């Protein structure tokens, strides 16, 4: 992927999973990277590896997007380095599995902060510079959960619906300024997501690799698409729910995700 060769990309949630895979593919194409997450050791190791292997510049910014000041800390960091971000990747996010009323409120609020509020905040901070330069790209990692209500990951699915609609609406909003926005919607992916969410994989389908998902997202971004679903089976699943009553779709999903059903 050399569309951003010699330019700067900023990746949130770069310490694992899809974020790391995005960093590796961009680095292989000669893109300079600002890597941000909470885990300093992982970021430092990744930054050193990619810089040495691909002869690119890498910077590490430790920030917690669950905190309201997290996005501003990242923006202030890149401003202090006098770096213009050409590709912003809002990848950081997490889920939580279980009955809504039994879940810790703090965890749900943090999820909404990271998956929704931080995405809006980061985008609003970096978009003006892109508009002023007449170019820029913003990739927002959503999910196939964005296409329907999903009981037992209710809040997560709702946040990803926001991300998808936000990206698709913003893409048209800023197209006139030479800025492109794309939502990447992965299905089940081989990352730490299920472990963090306390959730087993709900499908018998083999998960896609983070590398495959990252490649699909960057290719769609480079092609100017406003959204993309990774994987044909995931695309079929997401599109098919449009033809069924919404209550039925939620009920079927509830049967799949109900605790004790996921063996």
For 35, the 3-state DSSP assignment is: strand
CB 159 within 8 A of CB 66: no
Residue 126 falls in the annotated catalytic set: no
For Cα atoms 56, 61, 63, give the angle at the middle one, nearest 5 degrees: 150
Give the chain's largest Cα–Cα span: 53
- For residue 123 the two structure tokens come to 């985008």
- Please provide the DSSP assignment of 16-77 as one string: SHHHHHHHHHHHHTT-EEEEEES-HHHHHHHHHHHHHHHT--EEEEE--TTSTTHHHHHHHH
Query: Locate tokens 């389908």: which residue?
Result: 205
CB 221 within 8 A of CB 137: yes
Short-list 244, 258, 182, CA closest to 214: 182
Cβ-based neighbour number of residue 48 at 10 Å: 12
Give me the active site residues, please. Answer: 156
């Amino acid at each position: 992927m050399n569309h951003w060769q010699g330019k700067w990309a900023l990746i949130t949630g770069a310490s694992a999973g899809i974020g790391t895979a995005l960093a590796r593919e961009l680095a292989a194409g000669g893109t300079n990277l600002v890597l941000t997450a909470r885990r300093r050791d992982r970021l430092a190791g990744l930054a050193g590896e990619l810089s040495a292997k691909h002869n690119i510049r890498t910077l590490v910014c430790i920030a917690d997007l669950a905190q309201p000041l997290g996005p501003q800390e990242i923006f202030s960091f890149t401003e202090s380095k006098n770096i213009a971000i050409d590709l912003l990747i809002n990848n950081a996010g997490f889920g939580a599995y279980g009955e809504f009323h039994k879940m810790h409120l703090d965890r749900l609020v943090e999820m909404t902060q990271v998956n929704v509020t931080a995405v809006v905040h980061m985008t609003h901070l970096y978009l003006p510079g892109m508009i002023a330069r007449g170019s820029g790209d913003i990739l927002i990692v959503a999910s196939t959960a964005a296409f329907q209500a999903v009981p037992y990951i209710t809040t997560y699915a709702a946040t990803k619906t926001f991300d998808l609609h936000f990206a698709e609406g913003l893409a048209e909003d800023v197209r006139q300024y030479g800025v492109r926005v794309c939502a990447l919607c992965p299905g089940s992916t081989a990352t730490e997501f299920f472990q963090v969410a306390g959730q087993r994989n709900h499908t018998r389908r083999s998960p896609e690799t983070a590398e495959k998902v990252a490649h699909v997202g960057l290719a769609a971004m480079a092609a100017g698409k406003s959204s993309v679903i990774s994987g044909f089976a995931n695309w079929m699943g997401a599109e098919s729910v449009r033809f069924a009553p919404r209550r039925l779709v939620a009920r079927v999903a509830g049967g799949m995700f109900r605790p004790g059903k996921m063996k």
